[in-house]
Amino acid sequence: DAHIDEIGFVVSGIRDDGLIAVACSGGIDTLILPTACVTVHGRRELCGIICDVPDDTDAPPKIKDLYIDTGCTVDEVRDTVAVGDPVTFRTDICRIGSSRLIGHSFDDKACAAALICAVADAPREELAFDISLVLSTREEIGGGGAAVAAHFLRADAAIVTDANFASGTGVP
């Protein structure tokens, strides 16, 4: 199993000034959010930027104090966006150095690619068991996709992949 979902947001309200309130979908570090570019997936897509309501503390912003500014009037926002609409990060894939790429959710994509390659390269005639490849969703909000797959497949064994931040001497 490799999960292929992404963190993001769900529209939770529209203020009278047209700013869009959101709730988190997945574990999101609010420190990285102010000035992040996002897409609101309403009746049509709207680009926006996350802004915060400044206060007098150095505490990390709370999601309830962050809003999306699309530059649209309140009427334009209300005609296009509804509570419950998804919001995703806008990111580009960039090349760094001569042989590396960076981009949003590459941890999930790398795990999925590794499993697909492993299954494709498996010598089928030599295996005494079946292989099922699961690319699940809902990992960021409780793991429901993998749980459903596990219940359905009733496998004797599983290999689950994920990636995380690495640091230390010699880590490229």
Please provide residue 24's backbone torsions phi and psi, each rounded to the nearest 5 degrees: -75, 145
Contact 40, 70 (CB under 8 A): yes
pLDDT of residue 13: 97
pLDDT of residue 169: 62
Report pTM.
Answer: 0.69
At residue 162, what is the residue type?
A: D
Token pair belonging to 91: 């990111």
Q: What is the mean pLDDT of each run of 10 residues along the chain (172 residues)?
A: 78 96 85 89 96 77 91 96 94 84 79 86 80 76 74 80 66 58
pLDDT of residue 46: 96
Token pair belonging to 117: 């390659």
pLDDT of residue 58: 75
